Structure 1
Amino acid sequence: MKIIKVKDNSTRASDEFRAIPNITSSILDKNVSKLEETGIFVFPNSLKEQESITADQFILNKVGQEYRTSNIMGFLGYNEENLIIESRFSEGQQDYFFQYLIENVLKIPYVIDLNTIIDQDNKIIDLFIFIFPYYLKQAMRKGLFKQYTRNEYNNNNIKGTIDIQRHIKNNTPFIGNIAYSQREFSYDNYMLQLIRHTIEFIKKRKEGAGVLNSVRNEVKEIREVTTSYNHMDRNKIIVFNNKRPIRHAYYKEYRELQKLCLTILQRHKHYIGNGKEKIHGILFDGAWLWEEYIDTLVSTDFYHPKNKDGSGSQRLFSRHLGTKIGLVYPDFIGRNQENRIIADAKYKPIQNIANRDYLQVLAYMFRFDSKIGYYFYPNHKETRDEVLYLNQGISYERNVQMREDIKVTKLGLAIPKEVENYKDFSKKMKKAEKAFLAKI
């Protein structure tokens, strides 16, 4: 077993990756959008579909004789090779901070330890099972997947194509029924059958009830429409879905779910090199994960527009004709209209918050009539909060002075350092969250 551990947003000598040549060649200088046909799952899914290519969308970049990681973190496996990309804000042997973000955003409990998961195929399956509810919800927001299916009947109400061989076999001597098949637009199709088989597979595992509890309404819908379900058909359904991946752009969420279901049901085949997708893993955009985590803390006091899925969009300008232009997505907009606050979640150290970050938040503050702004960042160095007051006047006239009525604060959430275990880390994080919220 070959394991390489690196931090996100860090640079390492290319020689250090010699032990994992297959993983390196699979991801080096490749955008996450090119991972479509692999066994790699990316959070959020929309990272794969963005038209603008940014450095944050690459897993590993070559810079001279060195390799540089980006905001992407998680784990990748290829036969005996393994790469773990940890959070730069964690210290020690265990990346408790990354685990804590995953637990709070995706509700994946710490029983799935990313640092030991690669040693046990069964634990890899557990991790994919825990992300199943997320993908199921994402897909079913588009409604139930509907597809043409060919169904077989044997009655006297003929509506389709007569099946001569089946008719002779089933209706001799003739008693009035006709064997025929009919092409129908149905919910009871190969995709929903695959989901149903995955649900039943998860249900039988010890953690199954807890996993499916968060999507019980979706599970109920799937069970109601897959009336032809038979557990003996699992292999046939797997083969059929492998041959017919969903291609329609509208159902891209179902394509991701289809891939996940096949990964779960085929289990070890992908991980010991027998399947066509030898590379596998789960990756997270650190900036997205941090932003969604902050939302779990401040959602009662802030609106949260989401540029990844296009919800809650705002416009900077309006024309006389009534059209609105200048699409923007502030991370957080305070709900208090009398004292509006604008906040930006930054997955970066305090010293890296500068320049364009300042212009962005000030533009949002001006647009929403706010005099208070915040940067929410992970504070792993016990750095003191920094309050910045807007200047007025210009240097040419030598009248620049500080305005105390408009300010922006770099507010860090302290990341515990010295901890005994994950339980201790989690306890200290809860304490840090209370101190963080008290300052807003």
Structure 2
Amino acid sequence: MLVTTDNTSLALDSNTPNVSKAIADLSLLANQSIGELIHANPDLLIFPECFKNNEDSIASNPIFELSIQNSKTFLNTGNVMGFIGVQDTQLKIQSRFAQASVIDNDDQGNQEEGSQEDYFLHYMLQKVLCVNLFDLKHSRNQTNVFDFLVYLFPYFHKKALSQGLYKEYQKKTYNDSNLKGAIDIKTHLQRNLPFRGNVAYRVREHSFDNPITQLIRHTIELIKQKPNLRDVLHSDSETFDLVNLIVQHTPSYHARDRHTVINANRKPFVHPYFTEYSGLQKICLQILRHEGLKYANNDDKAHGILFDGAWLWEEYLNTLLRPLGYDHPTNNTQQGGIKVYAQKFSGNNVRRYPDFVKNNDIILDAKYKRMKDNEISRDDLNQVLSYLFLYKANIGGYIAPTVDGNLALNMGLLNGFGGSIHKFKLAIPQQVASYQKFKKAVAENEVKLIEIIKGLSIEQNDSGWQD
């Protein structure tokens, strides 16, 4: 097991036992685009599943890169977090804001260092997926892939059932007086002699009780058996209702059939209308097989679950800025944005999708990567300048996470059409004793961020604020 964080370079010490084997295993995945890896490794799940249409081109980026400098091998990560395994090697990429948790010692009044906890990744998933996590009670020092899979289940479940409850033709056998199919002569002779009015027969009919819905039902029943995770099945009224809908329409469910149901879903689900069921099928299979907890080592295929940190950060900020009146254009759903050309000359008029827009006057860009306080890279600056120009907006800015404390800076006034550029950083708490204390501390920092952003359209403070 190798453990690292996002946006980090990790030196792989050649003197460490088995590191050569680990490098050889990881070389099977290194420096390849995520799009290529997903296509070649069907058991590798990445969230969000709409990565192919992501404007940040995550599909063209690698999960990690291996490079050699001064005879040393370095593992370099980007914005992707999660768990991935290939052959005998497992790689855990945590958020760079993961910390050694602190355990309160009430008797001594002191604190001692606990295990490494990725509170920030859990928190963003909770906010974005609307999962109700009261606390993190998983076993310490364990790779909790299973927990993350369960967190994602309600999200995929809702998306799939938004297209309706899936039904398909099933072969059914009956033995009654309502004959409506082909007579099953053998069964009829065995069960209905002497004749008493019933006829054994077979029929093909549409049924909600099929291998896909049975797979979902078995997943639900497995989650119910996990005391620390089953609350996700009733985290909100919609999830609760959809779980009950599956239960009501799978009357043939029996726990002993789990292996049979898994085998019936070996082939990827493909349907021209029920397209969202494909992702739900994949995550159900991973939960039922516990594949995330037992990385395969019998071939060159990769297994695991990955999260796009940039997407998560952007969607998390959306939960904070939406109540302030900010629109959140999204290119993968072709909603919002602005046309580049006032008059279309040929082909489709391309659009640009800033992360957050308010009244066409304030443009804010979410940045999960590392950003220096007093510097803006050329590409980042050009991106926001183009948005300001297209929207004829007056204020542009960036929002990034940090461990150094809340920060808001006015980077300066612009030439040309005027306007100003700002930079905001949200402090991610470190060295906290529990997940509950982490949530309380980050909520206080959120309030500070929200208050200063509220004042953008009212006044501009050249000196900014910092605490």
User: TM-score range, shorter-chain basis?
Assistant: 0.7 to 0.9
Q: Name which of 87, 99, 105 aligns with 2:95.
A: 87
Distance, in Å, in 1 between the alignment partners of 2:433 and 2:170 is 56
Does the 8 Å CA contact 1:193/1:237 hold for their aligned counterparts?
yes
Which moves more between the two structures, 38-47 or 201-210?
A: 201-210
Distance 1:176 1:48, change over 3 A: farther
**Residue 73 of structure 1 corresponds to which residue in structure 2?**
81
**Residue 35 of structure 1 corresponds to which residue in structure 2?**
38
Which moves more between the two structures, 50-59 or 214-223?
A: 50-59
Does the 8 Å CA contact 1:305/1:329 hold for their aligned counterparts?
yes
One-letter code aligned to 2:328: H
Q: CA deviation at 1:190?
A: 0.9
Distance, in Å, in 2 between the alignment partners of 1:407 and 1:430 is 28
**Residue 358 of structure 1 corresponds to which residue in structure 2?**
381
Q: CA deviation at 1:113?
A: 5.8
Distance, in Å, in 2 between the alignment partners of 1:38 and 1:286 is 21
Distance 1:21 1:388, change over 3 A: closer
**Residue 401 of structure 2 corresponds to which residue in structure 1?**
378
Does the 8 Å CA contact 2:169/2:205 hold for their aligned counterparts?
yes
In angstroms, what is the RMSD of aligned CA positions?
3.6
Q: CA deviation at 1:61?
A: 1.9
Q: CA deviation at 1:160?
A: 3.1
Distance, in Å, in 1 between the alignment partners of 2:318 and 2:328 is 7
One-letter code aligned to 1:285: D
Distance 1:437 1:98, change over 3 A: same
Gaps of 5+ in 1: 394-402
Give a deviation string over 1:315-348, Cα, whole Å, max 9, x none: 3345479x972222221122xx4x7322111112
Distance, in Å, in 2 between the alignment partners of 1:114 and 1:27 is 29
Q: CA deviation at 1:376?
A: 0.8
**Residue 24 of structure 1 corresponds to which residue in structure 2?**
26
One-letter code aligned to 1:332: F
**Residue 218 of structure 2 corresponds to which residue in structure 1?**
197
Q: Name which of 153, 156, 169 aligns with 1:148.
A: 169
% identity of equivalent residues: 36
**TM-score for the superposition, normalised by structure 2:** 0.77
**Residue 399 of structure 1 corresponds to which residue in structure 2?**
none
Distance, in Å, in 2 between the alignment partners of 1:265 and 1:350 is 40
One-letter code aligned to 2:67: V
The answer to whether residue 308 in structure 2 is matched with residue 285 in structure 1 is yes
Q: Name which of 4, 7, 16 aligns with 2:5.
A: 7
Give a deviation string over 1:267-306, Cα, whole Å, max 9, x none: 4796275998985432111101111111121121212222
Structural mapping, 1:227-246, within 5 Å? 227-242=251-266, 244-246=267-269
Does the 8 Å CA contact 1:57/1:72 hold for their aligned counterparts?
no
Does the 8 Å CA contact 2:338/2:390 hold for their aligned counterparts?
no
One-letter code aligned to 1:427: K
Distance 1:96 1:197, change over 3 A: closer
Which moves more between the two structures, 49-58 or 351-360?
A: 49-58
Q: CA deviation at 1:182?
A: 2.2
Distance, in Å, in 2 between the alignment partners of 1:108 and 1:283 is 21
Distance, in Å, in 2 between the alignment partners of 1:344 and 1:53 is 16
Does the 8 Å CA contact 1:341/1:371 hold for their aligned counterparts?
yes
Structural mapping, 1:132-147, within 5 Å? 132-147=153-168
Give a deviation string over 1:43-92, Cα, whole Å, max 9, x none: 11122676996586321223345332121111234686432212234555
Gaps of 5+ in 2: 101-115, 454-467
Does the 8 Å CA contact 2:97/2:430 hold for their aligned counterparts?
no
SS at structure 1 position matched to 2:389: helix
Distance, in Å, in 2 between the alignment partners of 1:114 and 1:346 is 32
Distance, in Å, in 2 between the alignment partners of 1:176 and 1:186 is 26
Distance, in Å, in 2 between the alignment partners of 1:150 and 1:12 is 56
SS at structure 2 position matched to 1:45: coil
**Residue 368 of structure 1 corresponds to which residue in structure 2?**
391
Of structures 1 and 2, the one scoring higher in RCO (CA 8 A, sep 6+) is 2
One-letter code aligned to 1:294: L
**Residue 397 of structure 1 corresponds to which residue in structure 2?**
none
Does the 8 Å CA contact 2:34/2:59 hold for their aligned counterparts?
no
Distance 1:324 1:421, change over 3 A: same
**Residue 227 of structure 2 corresponds to which residue in structure 1?**
206
One-letter code aligned to 2:93: I
Which moves more between the two structures, 25-34 or 89-98?
A: 89-98
**Residue 421 of structure 2 corresponds to which residue in structure 1?**
408
Give a deviation string over 1:102-161, Cα, whole Å, max 9, x none: 33333373516697232xxxx543443232112212222332223222222233444333
Q: State how many pairs are aligned.
A: 420
Distance, in Å, in 2 between the alignment partners of 1:115 and 1:353 is 39
One-letter code aligned to 1:386: L
Give a deviation string over 1:1-51, Cα, whole Å, max 9, x none: xx3122222233455653635751452233333235454331111226769
Does the 8 Å CA contact 1:108/1:131 hold for their aligned counterparts?
no
Distance 1:152 1:208, change over 3 A: farther
Structural mapping, 1:76-225, within 5 Å? 76-77=84-85, 81-90=89-98, 93-106=116-129, 107=131, 109=133, 110-111=135-136, 116-118=141-143, 124-207=145-228, 209-213=230-234, 214=236, 215-225=239-249
One-letter code aligned to 1:329: Y
**Residue 400 of structure 1 corresponds to which residue in structure 2?**
none
Q: CA deviation at 1:249?
A: 6.4
Distance 1:239 1:318, change over 3 A: same
Distance, in Å, in 1 between the alignment partners of 2:292 and 2:390 is 54
